[in-house]
């Protein structure tokens, strides 16, 4: 046991009591700590994640841990004897046959799921929408009762959100992702150079803002840290639907997605070496061939770490194991999967643990990981541009290209394949690349598919509430998975699928349905008021469009009337006779 000084770092701008522990040798703090005023110090960036903590000096006795993926341990040189040279050897020590029997790989949907809205509602279900509507209406009621509303406030006109109105709200949000503007208010601009009629024809700006601002997912209980329930229940629900309707192929990949967020929350992460330097981290398990998001794991700080499996291992090893275990819980008979990870997760200990679960691993690896042989850390290439060593089922290869690429694999060999490469002047040359590198490059393309879909038509906007970011991100992933399922089903039936943009546009139209709001009044009144079977009194007023037979979007389709129903809440205009009957007896009353 060795006595060390432990520095407890509280995240600045944190609104919780969560703390991160940094264990630093006192002798090593000279070059990394800048002395501040008093007894406080400011710590610089860590090697993998950068935080801005304030250190508080504490004396504590700790025991050195043996489970450290970074750095080397004494006697590591002796372990090198277990590694033997397999450079350009095309033999694989052991390969597990892939099977998910009795299930089959691919979409798990019925034959009557054909329309974009059918695929989308596999994940964003009617049950989920009803719960969101109920929470939103309850939250609005509570908030408005506790505030004094002025005479000119838009909250004077608040009414409960209906199901068809919320689906129209979802459609508007998805359509916003296909045509980004400077801010949300610009969608309702009346200027000639920026007017977009679609949005004002569906919602008045005040009504969209009412729903947008009152949107609520879950009312947290009184327990500590329960505010995470605002997003966790929603994400867990759609996560269960993702794994229910698709079985990934043999190649899967694990990566992390950083959801850009600069607000105040205790579990925010910061890394200056990534494109998105500050945000909320979400771990993702995806199918390599299609890019389908099979499983998600949001990072909520210490709460997430406590719920991960295998606490005896490092965090970078536990995350892939946790996601793969979720796959095994859904497909208990699965064997022979091949997981691909990047250098932040690849390690020899992860490869060994996955092999116990009959899963192969391939990924780029840092040479300072525990157990990496000296021959890979300091490779001698001589006349060849690869060096490879194997120990049991694990192979580590160093390939000298522009730089040195280090790859670990338990399911590939060190053989080389000729491939075409375009050099700087545009000419094509034939070079040899390791098969393990080619397989890795092809299989991590699933990450690129997801990122491409997510960045192409993305609604995400700045928000002070972290859970709203996660909600709209989850909605986007539901739409992306819906398109991937649709595309896969079409190709399986030898049919040509529509493009991503056409799919989203058709989904928007189908979710909107007949809902339209004009002149501050809904064309679609609440069903419980409209279809209550009671006496409805008709009166005469100013001339307006008939809610049943008028179709302004068609040429010469406008139908106006002075008759309106005085009993219905919104005083809708309609013709006596057929229109009156349809409106008060049918769910879908539009002609």
The DSSP symbol for 541 reads E
Q: What per-residue confidence (pLDDT) applies to 425?
A: 76
SS3 394: strand
Tell whether the model's pLDDT for residue 34 goes beyond 50.
no
Residue 249: both structure tokens together = 């192929």
Q: What per-residue confidence (pLDDT) applies to 10?
A: 37
SS3 sequence of 416-479: EEEEEEECCCCCEEEEEEEHHHHHHHHHCHHHHHHHHHHHHCCCCCCCCCHHHHHHHHHHHHHH
Q: What is the C-alpha separation between 73 and 125, in angstroms, rounded?
A: 52
Mean pLDDT, to the nearest integer, of 380-399? 89
**Which of 267-271, 298-302, 327-331 ranks highest by mean pLDDT?**
327-331
How many beta carbons lie within 10 A of that of residue 433, not counting itself?
A: 18
Tell whether the model's pLDDT for residue 40 goes beyond 60.
no
* Main-chain phi, psi angles of 42, to 5 degrees: -115, 130
Q: Which helix (H) or strand (E) holds 166?
A: helix 163-178
SS3 241: helix
Of the pLDDT bands very low, low, confident and very high (cuts 50, 70, 90), residue 76 is low
Of the pLDDT bands very low, low, confident and very high (cuts 50, 70, 90), residue 420 is confident
Q: What per-residue confidence (pLDDT) applies to 487?
A: 95
Q: What per-residue confidence (pLDDT) applies to 219?
A: 67
Of the pLDDT bands very low, low, confident and very high (cuts 50, 70, 90), residue 1 is very low
Q: What per-residue confidence (pLDDT) applies to 211?
A: 94
Of the pLDDT bands very low, low, confident and very high (cuts 50, 70, 90), residue 489 is very high
Tell whether the model's pLDDT for residue 311 goes beyond 60.
yes
Tell whether the model's pLDDT for residue 224 goes beyond 60.
no
Nearest alpha carbon to residue 365 among 379, 354, 380, 376:
376
Tell whether the model's pLDDT for residue 520 goes beyond 90.
no
Mean pLDDT, to the nearest integer, of 11-22? 37
Of the pLDDT bands very low, low, confident and very high (cuts 50, 70, 90), residue 368 is very high
Mean pLDDT, to the nearest integer, of 23-30? 37
Nearest alpha carbon to residue 486 among 254, 288, 251, 292:
292
Q: What per-residue confidence (pLDDT) applies to 466?
A: 86
Q: What per-residue confidence (pLDDT) applies to 293?
A: 95
Nearest alpha carbon to residue 161 among 219, 212, 211, 218:
211
Tell whether the model's pLDDT for residue 142 goes beyond 50.
yes
The DSSP symbol for 69 reads S
Tell whether the model's pLDDT for residue 338 goes beyond 50.
yes
Tell whether the model's pLDDT for residue 320 goes beyond 50.
yes
Mean pLDDT, to the nearest integer, of 164-180? 93
Of the pLDDT bands very low, low, confident and very high (cuts 50, 70, 90), residue 221 is low
Q: Which helix (H) or strand (E) holds 213?
A: helix 205-214
Of the pLDDT bands very low, low, confident and very high (cuts 50, 70, 90), residue 254 is very high
Mean pLDDT, to the nearest integer, of 519-529? 54
How deeply is 47 buried, as exposed, middle or buried, from its count of CB atoms within 10 A (0-12, 13-18, 19+)? exposed
Nearest alpha carbon to residue 248 among 217, 300, 280, 288:
288
Tell whether the model's pLDDT for residue 42 goes beyond 80.
no
Q: What per-residue confidence (pLDDT) applies to 265?
A: 82
Mean pLDDT, to the nearest integer, of 168-187? 91
Q: What is the mean pLDDT of the chain?
A: 81
Q: Is residue 368 a contact partner of residue 335, using CB atoms and an 8 Å limit?
A: no
Q: Is residue 369 a contact partner of residue 47, using CB atoms and an 8 Å limit?
A: no
Q: What per-residue confidence (pLDDT) applies to 223?
A: 52
Tell whether the model's pLDDT for residue 93 goes beyond 60.
yes
Mean pLDDT, to the nearest integer, of 104-119? 94
Lowest mean pLDDT among 73-82, 122-131, 287-296, 369-378: 73-82
Mean pLDDT, to the nearest integer, of 538-559? 87
Report the percentage of the chain scoring pLDDT > 70.
83
Q: What per-residue confidence (pLDDT) applies to 103?
A: 93
Q: What is the C-alpha separation between 109 and 459, in angstroms, rounded?
A: 27
Tell whether the model's pLDDT for residue 456 goes beyond 90.
no
Q: What per-residue confidence (pLDDT) applies to 268?
A: 84
- Structure-model confidence comparison of residues 256 and 73, the more confident one: 256
Instruction: Kindly give, in sequence order, each residue whose CB lies less than 8 Å from that of residue 28, ignoring residues fewer than 6 positions away.
Output: none
């Amino acid at each position: 046991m060795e006595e060390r000084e432990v520095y407890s770092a509280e995240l600045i701008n944190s609104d919780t009591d969560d703390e991160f522990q940094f264990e630093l040798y006192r002798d090593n703090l000279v070059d990394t700590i800048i002395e501040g005023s008093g007894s406080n110090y400011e710590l610089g960036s860590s090697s993998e994640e950068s935080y801005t903590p304030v250190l508080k000096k504490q004396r504590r006795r700790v025991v050195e841990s043996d489970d450290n993926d970074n750095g080397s341990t004494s006697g590591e040189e002796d372990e090198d004897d277990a590694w033997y040279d397999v450079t350009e050897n095309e033999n694989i020590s052991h390969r597990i046959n892939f099977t998910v029997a009795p299930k089959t790989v691919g979409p798990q949907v019925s034959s009557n799921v054909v329309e974009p809205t059918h695929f989308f509602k596999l994940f964003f279900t009617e049950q989920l929408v009803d719960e969101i509507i109920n929470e939103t209406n309850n939250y609005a009621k509570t908030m408005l009762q506790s505030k004094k509303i002025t005479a000119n406030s838009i909250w004077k006109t608040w009414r409960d959100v209906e199901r068809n109105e919320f689906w129209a709200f979802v459609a508007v949000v998805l359509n916003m992702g296909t045509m980004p503007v400077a801010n949300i208010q610009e969608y309702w601009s009346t200027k000639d150079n920026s007017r977009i009629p679609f949005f004002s024809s569906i919602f008045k700006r005040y009504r969209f803002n009412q729903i947008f601002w009152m949107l609520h997912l879950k009312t947290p209980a009184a327990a500590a840290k329960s505010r995470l329930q605002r997003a966790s229940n929603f994400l867990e629900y759609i996560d269960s639907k993702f794994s229910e309707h698709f079985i990934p192929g043999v190649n899967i990949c694990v990566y992390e997605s950083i959801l850009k967020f600069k607000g105040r929350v205790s579990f925010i992460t910061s890394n200056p070496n990534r494109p998105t330097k500050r945000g909320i981290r979400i771990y993702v398990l995806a199918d390599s061939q299609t890019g389908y998001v099979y499983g998600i794991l949001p990072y909520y700080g210490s709460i997430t770490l406590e719920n991960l499996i295998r606490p005896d291992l490092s965090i970078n090893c536990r995350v892939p194991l946790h996601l793969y275990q979720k796959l095994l819980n859904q497909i208990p008979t699965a064997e022979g999967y091949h997981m691909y990870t990047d250098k932040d997760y690849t390690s020899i200990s992860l490869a060994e643990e996955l092999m116990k679960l009959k899963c192969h691993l391939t990924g780029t690896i840092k040479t300072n990981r525990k157990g990496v042989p000296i021959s890979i850390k300091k490779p001698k290439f001589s006349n060849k541009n690869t060096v490879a060593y194997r120990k049991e089922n694990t192979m580590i290869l160093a390939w000298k290209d522009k730089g040195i690429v280090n790859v670990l694999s338990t399911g590939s060999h060190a053989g080389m394949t000729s491939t075409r490469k375009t050099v700087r002047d545009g000419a094509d040359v034939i070079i040899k690349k390791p098969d393990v590198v080619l397989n890795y490059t092809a299989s991590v393309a699933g990450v690129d598919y997801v990122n491409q879909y997510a960045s192409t038509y993305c609604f995400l906007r700045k928000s002070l509430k972290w859970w709203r970011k996660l909600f709209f991100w989850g909605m986007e992933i539901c739409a992306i998975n819906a398109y991937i399922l649709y595309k896969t089903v079409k190709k399986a039936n030898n049919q040509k699928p529509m493009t991503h943009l056409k799919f989203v546009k058709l989904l928007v139209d189908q979710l909107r349905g007949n809902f339209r709001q004009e002149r501050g009044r809904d064309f679609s009144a609440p069903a419980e008021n409209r279809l209550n079977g009671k006496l409805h009194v008709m009166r005469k007023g100013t001339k307006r469009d008939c809610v049943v037979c008028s179709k302004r979007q068609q040429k010469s389709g406008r139908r106006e009337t002075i008759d309106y129903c005085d009993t219905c809440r919104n005083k809708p205009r309609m013709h006596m006779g057929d229109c009156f009957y349809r409106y008060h007896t049918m769910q879908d009353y539009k002609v």
